[in-house]
């Protein structure tokens, strides 16, 4: 009996399978796109982008952009800086004015995003993917590589507010009432509201979550309003004030502020800030400070603001370059101390001890006499 000779013919790829494989994002691409989308997922930032694009070749003055928002100028400048770093806006000086113009990729991105607010007719869009797709536009944006930070340990359930009880807006309204009463006779309710909303906006850029954001905002806004009152002579400054500044306000400046507070007590007003605040105090820094009896669990990274610098008598910078504005009549110190974040426990201990020695040698004699 003749047997038919059977061979294994090569399998013809299924076009749908190939399309599915092509649609899957590699891990690195997914991380990059997520960072880009996170930079864009900010209402103020998107409004600024639309305003600059709509201004055409003339561009828009920085002052006009700031005036369109109920925010302080440094906050608006922060958003514009992010857009500039992404390659969406270009900044130039025209006499005494700063002008912002949109880049070609920003104009394309604005066209793509406009479809979300003005959707076309049902069915597949008649779009040239090479020029009109969101993915292709994102591929042209610049993205800064960031080191992944270790996740912070989850707080105990008792430390977390019960979900659904209070809306953040309701909490902010209550905070505003308390701050308005606290600063009665110093600031108008409108000024209190502006600093409160601006502080909330600034902290929301770096905060790991929103559950405790209203409470942190109250502390930060109160610090800023107090600094403004001291700067403007509304209230007297009873003790000298020291400001520690680093990049993330999660390591060096937190260590320095805690050590000086432990040594000087209430004889010195102490603040800390960061030029690019992290989500929280580094966990290992927290542990190493606990070794010397100092608890950092209630501390949080805060952005550097103009009034905080203006109010300080001594400003100590650690690795933040020229991010800190310089005002006459203040003492500035720059300590070349390595960043302890992400380092071993032994390195963090050395940083702690180095800062402690500098505080005792360079600050305490002049502060406490």
Which amino acids are annotated catalytic?
246, 320, 324
CA 297 to chain centre: 20
Sheet (strand 241-246) strand order: 269-274, 241-246, 314-317, 331-334
Do 71 and 197 contact (CB within 8 A), yes or no? yes
Q: Which long-range contacts (CB under 8 A, 24 or more apart) does 350-356 make?
A: 351/251, 351/252, 351/255, 352/255, 352/259, 352/288, 352/289, 352/292, 355/252, 355/255, 355/256, 355/259, 356/259
Rounded to 5 degrees, what angle do the CA atoms 206, 102, 275 make? 25
Closest CA to 86 of 131, 61, 52, 129: 52
The pair phi, psi for residue 261, each rounded to 5°, is -65, -40
Burial class of residue 258, CB neighbours in 10 A (0-12, 13-18, 19+): buried
The Cα 361–Cα 332 span in angstroms is 15
CA 75 to chain centre: 10
| Structural tokens at position 322 | 């020229």
**What distance, in Å, lies between the first and last C-alpha atoms of the chain?**
112
| Structural tokens at position 42 | 């900010």
């Amino acid at each position: 009996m003749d047997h038919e000779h059977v061979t294994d013919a090569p399998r013809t790829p299924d076009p749908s399978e190939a399309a599915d494989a092509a649609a899957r994002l590699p891990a690195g691409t997914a991380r990059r796109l997520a960072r880009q989308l996170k930079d864009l997922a900010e209402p103020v930032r998107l409004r600024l982008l639309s305003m600059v694009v709509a201004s055409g070749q003339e561009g828009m003055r920085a002052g006009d952009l700031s005036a369109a928002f109920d925010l302080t100028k440094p906050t608006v400048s922060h958003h514009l800086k992010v857009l500039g770093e992404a390659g969406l806006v270009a900044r130039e000086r025209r006499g005494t004015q700063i002008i912002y113009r949109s880049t070609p990729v920003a104009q394309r991105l604005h066209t793509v995003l406009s479809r979300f607010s003005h959707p076309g007719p049902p069915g597949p869009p008649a779009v040239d993917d090479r020029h009109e797709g969101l993915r292709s536009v994102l591929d042209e944006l610049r993205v800064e590589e960031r080191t992944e930070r270790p996740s912070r340990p989850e707080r105990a359930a008792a430390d977390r507010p019960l979900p659904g009880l209070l809306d953040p807006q309701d909490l902010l309204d209550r905070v505003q009432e308390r701050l308005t009463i606290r600063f009665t006779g110093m600031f108008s309710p409108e000024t209190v509201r502006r600093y409160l909303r601006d502080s909330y906006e600034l902290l929301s850029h770096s905060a790991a979550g929103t559950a405790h954001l209203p409470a942190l905002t109250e502390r930060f806004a109160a610090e800023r309003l107090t600094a403004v009152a001291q700067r403007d002579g509304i209230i007297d400054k009873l003790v000298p004030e020291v400001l520690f500044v680093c990049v993330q306000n999660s390591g060096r400046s937190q260590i320095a502020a805690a050590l000086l507070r432990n040594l000087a007590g209430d004889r010195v007003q102490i603040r800390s800030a960061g030029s690019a605040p992290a989500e929280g105090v580094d966990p290992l820094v927290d542990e190493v400070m606990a070794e010397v009896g100092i608890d950092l669990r209630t501390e949080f990274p805060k952005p550097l603001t103009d009034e905080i610098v203006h109010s300080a008598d001594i400003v100590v910078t650690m690795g933040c370059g020229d991010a800190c504005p310089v005002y006459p009549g203040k003492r500035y110190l720059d300590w070349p101390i390595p960043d302890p974040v992400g380092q071993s426990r032994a390195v963090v201990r050395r940083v702690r001890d180095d800062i402690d020695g500098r505080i005792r040698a360079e600050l305490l004699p002049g502060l406490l006499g």
